[in-house]
């Protein structure tokens, strides 16, 4: 068993935050040169996403980005394979096939021979296993040595605290799915440095350690050594001078391809050496220096987050409040797409303990979704803005105390809250229409909260509150024409110092998705009320009771609530018709909180090689399914390979409706057709799936249905 740092979880959280901050900071001007940045933006010292005086690619701060999505999606290979001691490239490649939706999620889909990741994905899809899928032998050096492997290296370090050998090994296995040569060397060097940064703060010692994992004749080694020499000979500490030398000797013009790893790795080393051990200064340098700014700043931000901790991030301007921990991991596991830094930290910390052979610490506050246990964490909660006539501004601060099962809470402050106005805070459970306009990287996501689920939260009124307040849970729901409306739980009055648990079972929303969940505060005191409500935790678990159906022809967001891996998703004729031209496709909804439930739908095969319905879906390659093909119907468990759990002859016909149902309870899987039980099995295998959402499946054809119904068991 490997001893883990006592502050391991908090340092992982700081590393995750550093990655996010760096990506969001550098994303608006990704690809710009140093000269253009200085000319149009000036030195980068803070977020510039809202600068409307320049032609930025987007004016949203929290956006979809491959740097974040790939980093945190691919480390799921560890959990999906039960945390093997020696994870392989082939296993990471299978993870790609499970979570990546072709042409839609995670990557820049620039075409074979142009986008490294697209090229590797097509290799994997065609049956070429990793690491051959990413090799120079198959793809050529230009394609294989672009920046992607370095981008995604951080996650492997975050699960390897103080263990650079493990981090370098994992980073290499993952890198070789899509990259080769110096791209792999750069990923290994960076991952080793980050892993060692849990126990070592000196940048030069980290660089020495990282270089020990790079061959002596590798170009990456020569680049690092040269940048260190230039820095050592710079008596004036002028990073601009060294940047110019990098551009002269290792600039983009020296390397083929769209975004070669070498120039960007050189800028990472530049910022580490000149950053004066400051998160703020290092972010300033790596972003102002240009080229692949979000990638470089994300890597540097993660390393400095690990090395300097939360205190290092908080030593400069407020990087954290605008982000509020929010992130998107766009993938085929749509229920895990709308997430936050605390949730992802927990998954990485579990992996780190499992790989170290150490007992996994108990999840905070009984495993609640929102716990606020990390110092400064907001977990997506923000003050709701709107008409001053009805909405009263609130403040949000993560504070110590006021928790029954933990150490911290979220303090919601209000001053002179008057009758007729309400203070509202909320966190997203889905995405809004503005996300549809995010450039380059599409967001595939399912809601995390559904009708029929019960939301529970712990609350305590501040002891110094000037009077009683009324609190209630509220949610925002899409409706006709994709406008938004509010629904509310029952009110509860809290006297100063009083604590209570508030619970609310979400009502039927007629097929419309739920955008967010939060707390509303109001008062009856005509003189107004000052005070604080402490939010201890917010949670919901289990399968919903919901009918997924087309609510209205004028609504589009209900359709976006499905993770879409088909060619056509139409609603003009039947309420729901899906088409996949060649090969398997699916649409899916739900989360891994769903365990025991029944899913049913009446499906008409219009024309298909095979088709069916699935339960406990965890991506494109992990589910139980009732599948019709040829003259047979089969119950299968798929984990990259479809394993039959039962098979029967069934001469199904095109254009005929079939009422299908799957029940999953514990390890029992029960499947029915038109009310007749066809399969009832216990899956005793170690490969059994214990949770996940639902899906409709179609291979080379089209199917239609009116609705999909889910109910808990």
Count CB neighbours of 451 within 10 A.
23
Distances (CA, A) of 694 to 59, 83, 133, 585, 712: 34, 25, 31, 13, 13
- Which residues are within 8 A (CB) of 687 and not within 5 positions of it... i.e. 6 or more apart? 637, 639, 643
pLDDT band at 537 (very low <50, low <70, confident <90, very high): very high
**What is the token pair recorded at 674?**
């038109």
DSSP code for 628? E
DSSP code for 422? B
Task: Return the pLDDT at 571.
Answer: 84
User: What superfamily would CATH give domain 562-712?
Assistant: Exo-inulinase; domain 1 (2.60.120.560)
Yes or no: say if 697 and 591 are a contact pair by the CB < 8 Å rule: no
If one looks up domain 382-434+443-539 in CATH, what number appears?
A: 2.60.120.260
For 274-301, how does the pLDDT look when each residue is reduced to its tens digit (9 = 90+)?
999 999 999 999 999 999 999 999 999 9
Crossing angle (nearest 10°) for helices 66-74 and 8-26: 150
Distance CA 620, CA 634 (A): 18
For the segment 536-550, the average pLDDT, to the nearest whole number, is: 96
Task: Return the pLDDT at 166.
Answer: 98
Give yes or no for residue 228 having a pLDDT over 90. yes
Distance CA 7, CA 249 (A): 41
Give yes or no for residue 1 having a pLDDT over 80. no
Give yes or no for residue 387 having a pLDDT over 80. no
Count CB neighbours of 35 within 10 A.
10
Give the per-residue SS3 of 29-52. HCCCCHHHHHHHCCCCCCCCCCCC
Distance CA 429, CA 338 (A): 7
**Unique residue bearing structure tokens 């090395």:** 307
If one looks up domain 10-55+62-335 in CATH, what number appears?
A: 1.10.4080.10
**621 φψ region: left (φ > 0), alpha (ψ -120 to 50), beta (else):** alpha
Distance CA 475, CA 487 (A): 5
The structural domains of the chain, with segments of one domain joined by +, span 10-55+62-335, 382-434+443-539, 562-712
Give yes or no for residue 553 having a pLDDT over 90. no
- Which residues are within 8 A (CB) of 651 and not within 5 positions of it... i.e. 6 or more apart? 631
For 59-91, how does the pLDDT look when each residue is reduced to its tens digit (9 = 90+)?
899 999 999 999 999 999 999 999 998 999 999
Distances (CA, A) of 537 to 306, 395, 400: 26, 17, 13
pLDDT band at 439 (very low <50, low <70, confident <90, very high): confident
**What is the token pair recorded at 426?**
């909320």
Phi/psi of residue 132, nearest 5 degrees: -60, -30
For 321-350, how does the pLDDT look when each residue is reduced to its tens digit (9 = 90+)?
999 999 999 999 999 999 999 999 999 999
pLDDT band at 575 (very low <50, low <70, confident <90, very high): confident
Report DSSP letters for 298-324, one per residue: HHHHHHHHHHHHHHHHHTSS--HHHHT
Distance CA 122, CA 130 (A): 12
**By C-alpha distance, which of 151, 142, 147, 150 is closest to 114?**
142
Report DSSP letters for 437-487, one per residue: G-SSS------S--TT-EEEEEEEE-TT-SS-EEEEEEEEEE-GGG-EEEE
Distance CA 216, CA 143 (A): 23
Give yes or no for residue 660 having a pLDDT over 90. yes
- Which residues are within 8 A (CB) of 25 and not within 5 positions of it... i.e. 6 or more apart? 44, 46, 47, 48, 283, 287, 293, 294, 297, 301
Distance CA 20, CA 548 (A): 33
Distance CA 478, CA 40 (A): 39
Cα 579 off chain centre by: 27
Yes or no: say if 19 and 280 are a contact pair by the CB < 8 Å rule: no
Task: Return the pLDDT at 388.
Answer: 77
Count CB neighbours of 55 within 10 A.
9
pTM of the full predicted structure? 0.97
Q: Which helix (H) or strand (E) holds 348?
A: helix 341-356
pLDDT band at 604 (very low <50, low <70, confident <90, very high): very high
Phi/psi of residue 486, nearest 5 degrees: -105, 140
**Unique residue bearing structure tokens 């009124």:** 461
Task: Return the pLDDT at 438.
Answer: 86
Yes or no: say if 646 and 634 are a contact pair by the CB < 8 Å rule: yes
What percent of the chain is predicted at pLDDT more than 90?
94
pLDDT band at 222 (very low <50, low <70, confident <90, very high): very high
The total number of residues shown for the chain amounts to: 713
For 458-512, how does the pLDDT look when each residue is reduced to its tens digit (9 = 90+)?
999 999 999 999 999 999 999 988 999 999 999 999 999 999 999 999 999 999 9
> What is the signed CA dihedral for 590, 596, 600, 605, rounded to 10 degrees?
70
Task: List the end-to-end C-alpha distance of the chain, in Å, as a whole number.
Answer: 40
For the segment 340-363, the average pLDDT, to the nearest whole number, is: 97
Give yes or no for residue 389 having a pLDDT over 90. no
For 122-158, how does the pLDDT look when each residue is reduced to its tens digit (9 = 90+)?
999 999 999 999 999 999 999 999 999 999 999 999 9
* CA 44-45-47 angle, 5° bins: 85
DSSP code for 262? H
Mean pLDDT, all residues of the chain: 96
pLDDT band at 56 (very low <50, low <70, confident <90, very high): confident
Task: Return the pLDDT at 573.
Answer: 79
What percent of the chain is predicted at pLDDT more than 70?
100
Fold match, 382-434+443-539 / 562-712: yes
Give yes or no for residue 386 having a pLDDT over 90. no
């Amino acid at each position: 068993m490997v001893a883990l740092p006592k502050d391991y979880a908090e340092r992982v959280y700081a590393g995750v935050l550093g990655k996010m901050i760096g990506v969001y900071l550098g994303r608006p001007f990704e690809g710009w040169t140093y000269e253009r940045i200085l000319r149009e933006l000036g030195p980068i010292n803070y977020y510039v996403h809202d600068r409307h005086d320049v032609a930025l690619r987007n004016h949203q701060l929290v956006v979809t980005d491959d740097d974040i999505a790939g980093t945190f999606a691919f480390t799921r290979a560890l959990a999906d394979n039960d945390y093997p001691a020696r994870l392989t490239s082939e296993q990471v490649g299978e993870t790609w096939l499970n979570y990546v939706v072709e042409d839609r999620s995670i990557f820049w889909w620039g075409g074979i021979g142009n986008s490294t990741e697209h090229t590797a994905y097509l290799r994997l899809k065609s049956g070429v296993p990793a690491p051959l899928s990413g090799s120079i032998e198959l793809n050529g050096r230009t394609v294989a040595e672009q920046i992607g492997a370095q981008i995604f290296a951080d996650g492997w370090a975050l699960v390897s605290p103080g263990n650079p050998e493990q981090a370098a090994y994992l980073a290499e296995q993952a890198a070789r799915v899509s990259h080769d040569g110096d791209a792999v060397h750069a990923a290994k060097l960076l991952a080793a440095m980050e892993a060692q940064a849990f126990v070592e703060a000196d940048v030069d010692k980290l660089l020495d350690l990282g270089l020990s994992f790079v061959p002596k004749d590798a170009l990456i080694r020569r680049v690092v050594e040269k940048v260190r020499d230039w820095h050592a000979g710079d008596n004036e500490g002028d990073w601009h001078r060294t940047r110019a030398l990098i551009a002269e000797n290792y600039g983009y013009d020296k390397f083929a391809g769209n975004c070669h790893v070498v120039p960007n790795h050189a800028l990472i080393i530049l910022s580490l050496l000149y950053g004066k051990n400051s998160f703020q200064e290092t972010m300033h340098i790596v972003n102002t220096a240009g080229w692949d700014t979000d990638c470089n700043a994300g890597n540097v931000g993660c390393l400095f987050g690990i090395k300097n901790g939360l205190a290092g991030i908080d030593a400069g301007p407020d990087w954290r409040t605008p982000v509020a921990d929010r992130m998107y991991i766009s993938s085929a596991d749509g229920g895990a797409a709308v997430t936050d830094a605390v949730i992802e930290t927990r998954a990485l910390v579990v992996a780190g303990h499992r790989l170290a052979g150490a007992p996994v610490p108990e999840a905070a506050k009984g495993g609640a979704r929102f716990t606020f246990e990390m110092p400064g964490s907001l977990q997506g909660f923000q003050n709701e803005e709107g008409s001053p006539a009805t909405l009263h501004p609130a403040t949000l601060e993560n504070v110590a105390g006021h928790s029954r099962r933990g150490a911290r809470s979220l303090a919601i402050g209000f001053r002179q809250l008057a009758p007729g106005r309400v203070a509202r805070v909320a966190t997203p459970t889905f995405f809004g229409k503005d996300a549809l306009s995010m450039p380059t990287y599409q967001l595939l996501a399912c809601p995390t909260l559904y009708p029929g689920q019960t939301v529970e939260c712990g609350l305590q009124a501040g002891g110094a509150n000037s009077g009683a307040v009324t609190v209630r849970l509220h949610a925002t729901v899409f409706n006709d024409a994709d406008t938004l409306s509010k629904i509310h739980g029952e009110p509860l009055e809290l006297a100063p110092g009083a604590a209570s648990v508030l619970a609310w079972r979400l009502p039927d929303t007629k097929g419309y998705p739920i955008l967010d969940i939060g707390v509303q505060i109001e008062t009856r005191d005509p003189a107004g009320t000052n005070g604080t409500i402490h939010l201890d935790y917010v949670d919901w678990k289990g399968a919903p009771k919901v009918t997924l159906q087309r609510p209205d022809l004028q609504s589009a967001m209900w359709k976006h609530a499905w993770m879409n891996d088909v060619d056509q998703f139409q609603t003009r004729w039947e309420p729901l018709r899906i088409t996949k031209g060649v090969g398997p496709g699916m649409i899916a909804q739900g989360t891994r909180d769903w365990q025991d439930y029944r899913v049913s739908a009446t499906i008409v095969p219009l024309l298909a090689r095979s088709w069916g319905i699935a339960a406990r879906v965890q991506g494109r390659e992990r589910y139980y399914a009732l599948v019709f093909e040829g003259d047979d119907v089969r119950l299968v468990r798929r984990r990259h390979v479809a394993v039959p759990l039962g098979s029967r002859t069934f001469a199904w016909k095109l254009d005929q409706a079939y009422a299908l149902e799957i029940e999953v309870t514990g390890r029992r899987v029960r499947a029915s057709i038109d009310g007749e039980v066809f399969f009832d099995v216990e899956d005793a295998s170690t490969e059994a799936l214990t949770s996940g959402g639902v899906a409709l499946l179609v291979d080379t054809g089209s199917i239609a249905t009116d609705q999909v119904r889910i109910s808990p068991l």
